[in-house]
Amino acid sequence: MHWYCCCRRARHFKLPGKFRPVAGRYWSTTLKRRYLPFREVVVTPTEGADPTSIRAEHADRLENSDGTISLRFDPERTSAAAVIAQATSVAEIADLHVNEPKLEDVVRLIYAEAER
């Protein structure tokens, strides 16, 4: 098995040969899309708002223990702007941010898959 460094420097983590950079392009976006093909809009409703009304088309709704609501969506199916527009149209929002999968989570999935 061949090993390639993520940026060809020895101090960085190494990935199996089939995940080497293609034509010098940075590959993290491609790996994220392949292994974790979703993004999340995390909203914190204001105190008087009804949190059960916060939904978006083409997005899975998850209630978090800290009172926030995550709307997980596939960016190839819908946009973050569409999800945000739908969420803010039904309730007042105190805070909002968009999360992308972390590269560390992608690498963890790749190695877990390789161990199987």
Instruction: Provide the mean pLDDT of the chain.
Output: 78
The pLDDT of residue 63 is: 92
The per-residue pLDDT for range 98-113, each reduced to its tens digit, is 988 777 887 888 888 8
Q: What is the pLDDT of residues 79-89, one digit of tens each?
A: 999 999 999 99
Q: How confident is the model at residue 9 (pLDDT cuts 50, 70, 90)?
A: very low
pLDDT recorded at residue 95: 94
What confidence score (pLDDT) does residue 11 get?
43
Rounded Cα gap, residues 27 and 20, in angstroms: 8
Count CB-CB contacts under 10 A for residue 38. Answer: 17
Q: What is the pLDDT of residue 15?
A: 53
Averaged pLDDT, 61-70? 92
Q: How many CB atoms lie within 10 A of CB 61?
A: 14
**Any residues with CB less than 8 A from the CB of 32 and at least 6 apart, and which?**
100, 101, 103, 106
Going 61 to 27 to 114 to 103, the CA torsion angle's sign is negative
Helix and strand numbers (H, E) in the chain are: 3, 6
Domains along the sequence of the chain with CATH? 37-100 (3.30.70)
